[in-house]
Amino acid sequence: MRFGRITAFLAVSLAVAGSAPASAHPVDDGSLRAAARGSGVHIGTAVDMSALADDAPYRAAVAREFDTVTPENVMKWEVVEPQPGVYDWAAADRLVDFAHKNGQVVRGHTLVWHSQNPAWLTETAYTPAQLRTLLRKHILDEVGHFKGRVWAWDVANEIFNDDGTLRDTIWLRALGSDYIADAFRWAHQADPKALLFLNDYNNEGVNAKSDAYYALAKQLRAAGVPVHGYGMQGHLGVQYGFPGDVLENVRRFDRLGMKTAFTEVDVRMELPPDTAKVQAQAEGFGLLLRACLMAKNCVSYTVWGFTDKYSWVPGFFDGQGSATPLDENLQPKPAYDTLRETFLLVRR
């Protein structure tokens, strides 16, 4: 990787900023992880477990660049309980072990969601009482399995529509909105020390969806429900422009006493990339990180894959891609430099 420019930038920025003590960066190896050290914000990535097993440069980069990891798929219900009552924690355990060997904390993802549930669950006509029992058991068993080894959980994922109404899911239909508070209570019961998050996309700025989260968080916390954090996925696209009021949004959750996090950041574009799109992409990554660093209680910034080699984007959006900070050869784009520079310049 071309770190020369960054190292030179570091020397200048430390001199200019004057506020970053040398001890905050004892060894700067040019990584994101080194730049984030001392900032109070963990830098993370989603991890593709096949790549982690088979691709040595990918594996080395996960260890070098990040101090928190999120399983991209292997803690989801369809993976951990492929048949009723038959658990398979193997892949998730491998990631948790990898993280602990590398001094990283784990964000667990995700406990209650409308997607990636096992077919046995979604294709059986369970009664509401049975569904509630199944959800309770799923959360108690999964959070219990990782007790003390997962730092933060995305407990409830994507529960609102963009217009601020609750998403129509098997959970809402059978259990009404109570399933949300229940999910947090069960997760807390299974691991009282884990940070418990709401998590969604299109909720980074102030809008109908984030307003709905704000109202829900306020209501749940007033009722004593253990909801600790508000996660903003941060799936942006240069062709849509970026929300202008991210900091305002993050700060209102700060004021509620909640932690916040950017949990799945990527910035896609119509292919092929060009200089303007790549520059806009860097601005998108930087905008979210700036908001995180400028808000008191933002605890982590996670990218949803760090290399285009394994990004989910081209498979889901026809003609789009190039959404991560490193290209398919693990070479940094301007977005990578912007992330480092932002960590080094914006100090709390």
- Of the residues 158, 248, 270, 341, only one is catalytic, namely 158
Told to check if 312 binds ligand G3I by CB under 6 A, we report: yes
CB of 50 to ligand G3I, least distance (A): 8
- Of the residues 65, 204, 264, 341, only one is catalytic, namely 264
**Binding track over 14-53 against ligand G3I, x by CB under 6 A:** ----------------------------------------
Please identify which residue in 72, 142, 308, 341 interacts with ligand G3I, judged by CB under 6 A.
72
Concatenating the DSSP letter of every residue in 294-315 gives HSTTEEEEEES-SBGGG-SHHH
CB of 2 to ligand G3I, least distance (A): 28
CB of 91 to ligand G3I, least distance (A): 10
In the complex with ligand G3I, which residue's Cβ is closer, 72 or 341?
Answer: 72
Q: Per CB under 6 A, which of residues 225..284 are in contact with ligand G3I?
A: 233, 264
Write out the E strands in the chain: 42-47, 68-71, 105-112, 152-157, 195-200, 229-232, 235-237, 259-270, 298-303, 320-321
Strand, helix or coil at 259? strand
Residue 204 falls in the annotated catalytic set = no
Cα gap 193→261, rounded to integer Å:
17
Residue 180 and residue 216 in contact, taking contact as beta carbons nearer than 8 Å? yes
* CA 303 from centre of chain: 7
* Chain position whose Cβ is nearest to ligand G3I: 312
Cα gap 48→74, rounded to integer Å:
9
CB of 5 to ligand G3I, least distance (A): 31
| Rg over CA atoms, the chain | 20
Please identify which residue in 7, 19, 83, 115 interacts with ligand G3I, judged by CB under 6 A.
115
Please identify which residue in 9, 55, 64, 73 interacts with ligand G3I, judged by CB under 6 A.
73
Cα gap 25→28, rounded to integer Å:
6
Known catalytic residues? 158, 264
> Could you list the residues that contact ligand G3I (CB under 6 A)?
72-73, 115-116, 233, 264, 312
